[in-house]
Chains A and B, each alone.
Chain A
C-alpha cells in the first residue's frame, strides 16, 4: 500500500510542476532558455564551460541583451567600442541586480509552492485514510446488509410455516366445532329418545300400577276434616271456572292498577320537582324590582313555614291538572328556555363577578315598621318561653326517670308519677294549645292590619301622586298638551312614586308584569289600578324583595327556597287567582332578560 501511495505522490509532483510551467513565466523562460541553449551546447561543447570569451563578447552581450529583452528588462548592456573587451559596468550591474531580484522572487515562489505541495500531500494523505476508512465501513455495512437479508428470509420462512400452521389449526377448530355440533345434536337426539323411552316406561309403570289395583295405595283417617275456610266445597261447573278466570284477571288488574298508581305517584313527584325547579328558576331570572330585602328574610321564613302545607296541597293539585299532553309540552319548552336563560345569566354573572365584588353594597333606605317589629318580637319571645317550658318538663321527666332505681317500687311509683305527670302535661298542652290559638289569631289580626295599612298607604301615595301631578301640570306651560296624554303620565307617575322602583324607563309596564308574574294576574292594567296585597306586603317588608344590584345574587340563590314558600303563601292569601303556570312562563319568556 505504501509503495503504491509513494508512486502516486511522484506522479502528482510531476503534474504540479507542469502546472507551474503554465503559470510561472520565468520558469518557462528558463526552460526555453535551456531548450534554446541545448543546440548551442551541442555545437560548441568545449566552450560551454566559458560562456563568454574574449572573442565573443559582443555576441554574448547581444545574446544577453536579447535574453534580457525577452525577460522584459529594459537595460541594455552595451559593449565598449569594439576592440576593447570590457563592459559598460552600470547597465550590466543593473541587469544583474534585476536578475538577482527575479531569482529571489522565483525562489520565494518555489518555496511557497513547496509548502503548498506539502500541505496538499498531507490533505491527500488524510483523504486517503478517510477513504480507506469509508471503504471499510462500506464493506461492513454490505456484510451487515447481507446478514439482514438472510434473517429476513428466515423470518419469512418462519412466517410462512406459521401461517400454514394457523390454517391447519383453523381447520382443526372448524372440524372440532362441527364435531361438537354433531355430537350435541346427536346427544340431544339421544336424550330425546331416552326421554321418550323413559316417558313410555313411566306410562307403562303407572298403567301397571293402576291395573294391579294396588291395595296399598290408601288413606286412613279417623275422621274427615272441615275446610280451612269453613265453607263447603263447590261442584266444578262452568260458572265456577268462569269465576276462577274472573278472579285471576281481577288480581292481575289490581296488580297493574297498583303499579300504575305507583308510577303515577312517582310521575307526580317528578312533576312537582320540575315545577318547583321552574318556579325557582323564574324567580332567579325575573328582573327584580330594586327593593331592599333587609332583615325581613327571617320573618318571611317563619310565615312561609306556617303555610307550607297549604302550598304543597295546591302544587300537587296543579300538577295533576297539568298532566295533559299539551301542558307537558309547554312545561318542558319553558323549562328548556329558562334553562338557557339561566345559563346565559350565570355566564354573565361570571363575567361580572370581579366587578360585583368590588362594588359596595347599595343601601336602599329601609322604612321601619314599628308595630310589625314589635309584634314579631313578641311572638318570638312567646315561642322562646314555650320552648323553655318544654325543656323544663323534659328535664323533670329525665330526673324522674333517673331517680327511680328500685325496680318494683320504682315501677309502682313511676305509674303514679306518670299519671300525675300526664295530667299535668295534658293541662299544659291545653294551655299551650290555647296560647297557640291566640297566637294564630293575633297573627291573623296583624296581617289584616298590615293589609289595611298597606291600602291606606297606597291611597295616600296615590293622593300624593295626584297632587304632585296637579302641581306639576299647573306649573308647566304645556299644560294642555300634557293633559292630552294624561292617562299615560298617570300610570307612569304612579309607578314611579312607589319607593321600590327607582329607575323609570320606557319599559316600565312590561317589566312590572314580569316581576310579579308568579303571584298576580297576567292583566297588568288591574295590578296597576288596584293595589294588590303583594304590593302591600312588600311595602311592609313581608316579602323579601330582591335588590336589583348584582352582588346580592348569591344570597338570592340561597334564599330562593324561602322566598318560594313566601310567595305561594301570599298567593293563597291574596284573592288574586293564579292561573296556569306554564302560560305565565310563556309570558315571562317574551320579556327581555336584563
Chain B
C-alpha cells in the first residue's frame, strides 16, 4: 500500500472525475485539476469567491463550482480552458446547485426552497420548478439519468413529480400518502421509487415509475421511525435503518420484510467475528523524554494499532442518548451495500465506535469492527467487497471477508483522516483531512513508476 504526497484542499472539496482520470480539488477560491496517475497539475481555474460546492459533470468535461454566499455558480471546461460560464441567481439566493445527468443543465435550488431553477448550457434557457420540498432528500435522479423525482409541498400535502430529464417534461405528478415526506430514492434499475415519511412515523412507500403505489411498509407505530435508507445495487433489497437500532430488509417481489438485523450491545453470535482495534503506545521513559523530546513527541502521537479477534461474547460500548434533545444519537444512521450486493455495512449511532458487516446471502452478522474512536466515514470499494473506514485519526482501516487491516498514513504533521472516497476503479483511495488530502494506492505493482509516491508502507495484518 502506497501513499502520495499531501495536498492542500479546503471545505473537503476534492472529487475524482466520473471517468477516473482527473482529480479536482478546491483551495479557497481556486480549482485545481490534476491527473490522477501522475498527480501533475493540468489546469488551474480561479473563481470569484471561496468555493462552497464543486461537482463534475457526468461526461467529465465540465466542473461546476458554486459559491452559495454570493449566489453564484461558475462552470469550467476541461477541454477548453478559456471557456467560461457564470450563473448568477441574484438576490433570491442559492442553497444547492447540481448537474443534471446529461451534463448540460444545472439545477439551482434557491433560498427558502422557493423554486428550482434549471439552466440549460445548450440554449441558455431557464426554467423553474416551483414548490420543491425542503427535506432530507427531496430530489433524486434515476441511475440511467432518464428520470428525476422531486418531492413537492403544496397546500400542506406532499406530492411527487417525475420529470423526464431529457426535456424536463413532467411525466407524472401524484400525491403521496405521507404526513411529512422526508426523502425519496430511485431503485438502481429506475423502476421503483422509495418514498419515506419523516422520523415521527415509520412509513415506507414504494411507487412504480408510473405513479402507482406498489406497497406500503410500516414496522411499528408511535416511536421515532426511519433514519436511513439504502437500495442494494441489484435492486433486490431495500434496507431501512431506524431509530429502534434495527435494519430491516425488504425484498423486491413482495416488498415484505425478509430479514431484520439487530444491533445488540452484547454479541454472542458464534458465526460472527469481532475485530477489536488495540492501540499500542510506544513506551517512553521519563529520562529519554528529556534527551530528545521532539522526535519522541512525534512518535508519541503516532500510536500503533492492530486488530485482535475478541473471544465471544463481546460487549460493545453503548452511549445512552439524551432523551430531551431532538435527533437523539440512537439508531442506524448509515448503511451501505457492497458493490456486489453481498454485504451490507451499518453503523448504529449509540455504538459509535463499531461498524457492523452483515452477509446478505446468509442473512446474518458477518463481522463487527470495534474501533477505539468514533467512526467518521465508511465506504465500500466500487469493485470488490472491501470496506474502507476512518475514525478521524491518522489511520486507515480496511475490512474484507479475509480479514482486517489497520494502516498508518505516513504523512508529516499529523494527517488526520476525516473522510474518504474510493477511486472508481477501486485501486486507490482519496483520504481527506481537515485541510489536506492524500491518495492511497491499493496495489503496489502498477504504480511503481510514480516518483512522487512515497514508499512508506505500514500494514499490520491481523487475520489471515
A-side residues, CB < 8 A to B, are 192, 195-196, 198-199, 202, 205-206, 209, 214-229, 233-234, 236, 240-241, 244-245, 247-249, 251-252, 255, 259, 263
Contacts and interface: CB of A to CB of B under 8 A. Distances in A.
Contact of B126 (A209, A219, A233): A219
A215 B146 CA distance: 33
A226 B208 CA distance: 33
B191 A252 contact: yes
Interface in B94-146: 102-104, 112-115, 119, 121-124, 126, 130-131, 146
Given A225-B104, A228-B104, A252 B87 contact: no
Given A248-B171, A251-B209, A227 B122 contact: yes
Nearest to B80: A222
Contacts of A248: 147, 171, 209-210
Contact of A219 (B91, B124, B189): B124
A254 B119 CA distance: 32
Interface size class of B (residues with CB under 8 A): 35 or more
Given A214-B91, A249-B210, A251-B190, A220 B169 contact: no
B84 interface: yes
B92 A214 contact: yes
A221 B87 CA distance: 8
Contacts of A214: 90-92
B156 A206 contact: no
B82 interface: yes
B112 A226 contact: no
B119 A240 contact: no
Contacts of B146: 247, 251
Contacts of A195: 153, 156
Contacts of B71: 216
A251 B164 contact: no
Given A223-B83, A233-B167, A209 B90 contact: yes
A181 to B, nearest CB: 13
A263 B236 CA distance: 13
Contacts of B252: 259
A173 to B, nearest CB: 15
A240 B191 contact: no
A236 B163 CA distance: 14
A219 B97 CA distance: 14
Contacts of B169: 236, 240-241, 244
B191 A217 contact: no
B123 A233 contact: yes
B156 A196 contact: yes
Interface in B144-169: 146-147, 153-156, 164, 167, 169
A-B pairs with the 9 shortest C-beta distances?
A216-B90, A217-B90, A255-B191, A221-B85, A214-B90, A220-B86, A192-B156, A225-B121, A228-B102
Interface of B: 58-59, 71, 82-92, 102-104, 112-115, 119, 121-124, 126, 130-131, 146-147, 153-156, 164, 167, 169, 171, 189-191, 208-210, 252-253
Contacts of B209: 248, 251-252
B208 to A, nearest CB: 7
A228 B58 CA distance: 10
B124 A221 contact: yes
15 contacts: A202-B113, A205-B92, A206-B114, A219-B87, A219-B119, A220-B85, A221-B85, A225-B122, A228-B59, A228-B104, A236-B167, A251-B146, A251-B191, A255-B189, A263-B253
A229 to B, nearest CB: 8
Contacts of B210: 248-249, 252
Contacts of A222: 82-85
Contacts of B167: 233-234, 236, 240
Nearest to A229: B102
Contacts of B171: 244-245, 248
A198 B252 CA distance: 39
B122 A224 contact: yes
A215 B88 CA distance: 10
A219 B104 contact: no
Task: Tell me which of B90, B252, B253 has the highest count of chain A C-beta atoms within 10 A of its own C-beta.
Answer: B90
B79 to A, nearest CB: 11
Contacts of B154: 199
* Residue of A218, A219, A245 with highest tally of chain B CB at under 10 A: A219
A478 B285 CA distance: 120
Contacts of A252: 191, 208-210
Nearest to A256: B191
B442 to A, nearest CB: 22
A216 B146 CA distance: 32
Contacts of A251: 146, 190-191, 209
Contacts of B84: 220-222
Contacts of A221: 84-86, 121, 124
A445 B85 CA distance: 80
A585 B377 CA distance: 61
Given A196-B156, A241-B169, 7 more contacts: A206-B115, A216-B88, A221-B84, A222-B82, A236-B167, A251-B209, A252-B208
Contacts of A192: 156
Contacts of A199: 131, 153-155
A486 to B, nearest CB: 65
Contacts of A225: 104, 121-122
Nearest to A249: B210
A3 B387 CA distance: 104
Contacts of A229: 102
Contact of A227 (B87, B102, B112, B208): B102
Nearest to B208: A252
Nearest to A263: B253
A205 B85 CA distance: 27
Nearest to B130: A206
A219 B86 contact: yes
Nearest to B142: A251
Nearest to A220: B86
A244 B121 contact: no
A159 B387 CA distance: 61
Contact of B112 (A205, A219, A247): A205
Contacts of A206: 92, 114-115, 130
A244 B147 CA distance: 11
Given A202-B112, A228-B59, A255-B189, A217 B88 contact: yes
Contacts of B208: 252
B124 to A, nearest CB: 5
B124 A217 contact: no
A198 B191 CA distance: 34
B104 A244 contact: no
Contacts of A205: 92, 112, 114
Interface centre among B112, B121, B123 (most CB of A within 10 A): B121
Contacts of B119: 219
A209 B92 contact: yes
A215 B89 CA distance: 10
Contacts of A259: 252-253
B444 to A, nearest CB: 15
Contacts of B103: 228
Contacts of A196: 155-156
